[in-house]
């Protein structure tokens, strides 16, 4: 085992023992130690009540203290090592969380033993403990064995566990993504049977589990488990709706399967920490997951056995915005993911006929700060098995990106503005602030995108020419 984080844990255990209190490292940190993963955030449980161990924790955590979880029996503290590394701890009184059938929040009842506390945890792999300072390993439910097998199982009957805290069902599919585990058959069956119980959990808590799932090393496995469990029908119904049989001859690929491939490919296209889209990128992964959710509503069977999805990009963008709002995502995430869904087909016309410089400028201007993500989503979405088509598409994308680099050497795409600003427009045309100034500004921006930077005299001449055509006095 890796004992790197234990000096602080042992010290804290001795401080608790001096006052006659039990202390044990529990949950994720113990699991991660067995998996040889590093952790500097340590969770403990104790026989002491918050008011009893608060002075101890404040004395240990001389670099920070917090008590936001006091009503749940939890206090936290932090200290820095000489090398600057922060070690954060949270201590919770032995407890049991029970839910009323229609309640979204647990009722906290203090317990009286470590084993009793462990029995109320979500899965056996998180129901292991290490007593400190004596370093006694406690594993009453076979968590170490399940960890070795890669199995998720509840310490008590799964129906009772999920009835007590329905969010544990979401955690199960999240651990599939994060740890690469499989859900035990009886646990999986209980999730399927009780999926509607997730409805009492707040959108914010569900969202947080989805984010952790998507940012994991195996988001596809997590999404597939989410759909198979029936939970997606309750929290993200647009995703299982992609499981379409497109035609009776099965000539068209299933949209859900395609989406999973796109998600995998998008993850592979993320960059290192110094690249334009550092991994893991929530915005790109959400866009990959949602880029085709407009297809079920726009599907049409055409003559000759063809299937069409006209305007699924625009419809999908609206559905994306609605779903992400319902899940209480931040406004900037909602805007960015919706924009990527709406723009994800934009490049396809380039393959048939390379764009003018004007069209390239518009593409970059419309993508804005999403340009790098949009290109990666577009590449990920090109899942054809036809090698020739795939090569043509990739070459076209390479060519367009090189043209953008060449154009950027001549002009600043990020600061494209008309060659005359609003104040100058009003002065040149003798206008007061109003709609006509806005129309003139828009025209000059279009002119700038079409023609690139031009001499100031040329821009003024164009402005006067346009105004002579559209002015009521002309």
What single string gives the DSSP state of each residue in 290-349?
HTTTTHHHH-EEPGGG-EE-TTHHHHHHHHHHHHHHHTT--HHHHHHHHHHHHHTTTTHH
Backbone angles phi, psi at 122, to 5 degrees: -70, -50
Position 1 scores a pLDDT of 43
Pair type for strands 300-301 and 307-308 = antiparallel
**Helix H segments across 91-151?**
114-119, 143-149
Q: Decide: residue 24, CB within 10 A, 0-12 exposed, 13-18 middle, 19+ buried.
A: buried
Residues recorded for the chain: 474
**In degrees rounded to 5, what are phi and psi of residue 283?**
-60, -50
Q: Give me Rg for the CA atoms of the chain.
A: 29
Instruction: Report DSSP state, residue 217.
Output: S
Picking from 358, 451, 452, the residue whose alpha carbon sits closest to that of residue 412 is 452
Task: Give the Cα separation of 197 and 217 in Å (integer).
Answer: 28
- Helix (H) or strand (E) holding 141, with range, is none
- Order of strands across the sheet that contains 136-138: 64-66, 74-80, 86-93, 41-46, 23-26, 129-131, 136-138
The pair phi, psi for residue 19, each rounded to 5°, is -100, 5
User: 24 forms bridges with which residues in the sheet?
Assistant: 45, 131
Distance separating alpha carbons of residues 188 and 228, to the nearest angstrom = 9
**Strand runs labelled E in 307-431:** 307-308
pLDDT in tens, the chain (474 residues): 444 557 889 999 999 999 999 999 999 899 988 988 877 789 999 999 999 999 999 999 989 999 998 988 999 999 998 888 889 999 999 986 555 555 555 556 787 899 999 998 999 999 999 999 999 999 999 999 999 999 999 999 999 999 989 999 999 999 999 999 999 999 999 999 999 999 999 999 999 999 999 999 999 999 999 999 999 999 999 999 999 765 444 444 589 999 999 999 999 999 999 999 999 999 999 999 999 999 999 888 888 778 888 899 999 999 999 999 999 999 999 999 999 999 999 998 787 787 888 888 889 888 989 999 999 999 999 988 889 999 999 999 999 999 998 887 777 666 677 778 788 888 888 888 888 888 888 888 887 777 777 888 888 888 888 888 887 654
The angle at the Cα of 217, spanning 215 to 218, to the nearest 5 degrees, equals 100
Q: Residue 25: helix, strand or coil by DSSP?
A: strand
Burial level of 228, CB count in 10 A (0-12/13-18/19+)?
Answer: middle
Report the C-alpha gap between 24 and 10 in whole angstroms. Answer: 10
pLDDT at 247: 47
Q: Between β-strands 151-152 and 182-183, what pairing exists: parallel, antiparallel or unpaired?
A: parallel
Count the Cβ atoms, other than its own, within 10 Å of residue 300: 9
- Token pair in block for residue 40: 């500097």
Backbone angles phi, psi at 278, to 5 degrees: -65, 140
248 CB-near residues (< 8 Å, 6+ apart): none
**CB-based burial label for 465 (10 Å; 0-12, 13-18, 19+):** exposed
Which residue bears the tokens 């609605």?
Answer: 322
Q: Is 317 helix (H, G, I), strand (E, B) or coil?
A: helix
Question: How many other β-carbons are positioned within 10 Å of the β-carbon of residue 322?
Answer: 13
Kindly list the structural domains of the chain, giving each domain's residue range(s) and its CATH number in brackets, ordered by start.
1-146 (3.30.460.10), 150-236 (1.10.110.30), 240-414 (1.10.3210), 422-470 (no CATH)
Q: Are 147 and 125 in contact (CB under 8 A)?
A: yes
């Amino acid at each position: 085992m890796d004992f790197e984080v234990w000096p602080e844990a042992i010290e804290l255990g001795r401080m608790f023992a001096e006052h006659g209190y039990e202390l044990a490292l529990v949950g994720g940190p113990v699991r991660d130690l067995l998996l040889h993963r590093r952790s500097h955030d340590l969770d403990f449980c104790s026989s002491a009540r918050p008011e009893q161990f608060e002075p101890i924790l404040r004395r240990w955590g001389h670099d920070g203290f917090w008590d936001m979880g006091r009503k749940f029996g939890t206090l936290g503290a932090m200290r820095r090592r000489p090398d600057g590394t922060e070690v954060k701890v949270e201590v919770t009184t032995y407890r049991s969380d029970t839910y009323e059938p229609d309640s979204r929040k647990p009722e906290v009842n203090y317990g009286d033993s470590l084993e009793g506390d462990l029995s109320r945890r979500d899965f056996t792999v998180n129901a292991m403990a290490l007593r400190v300072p004596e370093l006694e390993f406690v594993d009453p439910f076979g968590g170490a064995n399940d960890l070795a097998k890669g199995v998720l199982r509840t310490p008590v009957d799964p129906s009772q566990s999920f009835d007590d805290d329905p969010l544990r069902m979401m955690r199960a599919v999240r651990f599939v993504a994060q740890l690469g585990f499989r859900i035990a058959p009886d646990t999986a069956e209980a999730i399927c049977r009780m999926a509607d119980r997730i409805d009492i959990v707040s959108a914010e808590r569900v969202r947080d589990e989805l984010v952790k799932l998507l940012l994991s090393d195996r988001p596809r496995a997590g999404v597939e488990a989410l759909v198979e469990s029936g939970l997606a029908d309750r929290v993200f119904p647009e995703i299982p709706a992609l499981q379409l049989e497109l035609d009776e001859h099965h000539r068209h690929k299933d949209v859900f399967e395609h989406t999973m491939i796109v998600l995998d490919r998008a993850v592979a296209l993320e960059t290192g920490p110094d690249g334009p889209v550092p991994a893991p990128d929530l915005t790109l992964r959400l866009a990959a997951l949602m880029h085709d959710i407009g297809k079920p509503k726009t599907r049409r069977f055409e003559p000759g056995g063809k299937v069409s999805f006209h305007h699924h990009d625009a419809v999908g963008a609206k559905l994306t915005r609605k779903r992400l709002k319902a899940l209480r995502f931040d406004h900037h995430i909602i805007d960015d993911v919706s924009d990527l869904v709406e723009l994800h087909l934009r490049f396809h016309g380039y393959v048939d006929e390379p764009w003018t410089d004007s069209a390239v400028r518009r593409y970059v201007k419309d993508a804005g700060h999403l340009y790098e993500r949009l290109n990666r989503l577009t590449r990920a979405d090109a899942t054809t098995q036809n090698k020739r088509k795939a090569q043509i598409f990739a070459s076209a994308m390479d060519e367009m990106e090189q043209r953008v680099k060449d154009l950027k050497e001549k002009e600043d795409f990020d600061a494209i503005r008309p060659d005359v600003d609003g104040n100058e427009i009003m002065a040149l045309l003798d206008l007061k602030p109003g709609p006509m100034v806005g129309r003139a500004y828009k025209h000059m921006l279009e002119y700038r995108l079409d023609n690139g930077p031009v001499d100031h005299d040329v821009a003024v001449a164009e402005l006067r020419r346009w105004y002579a055509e559209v002015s009521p006095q002309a």
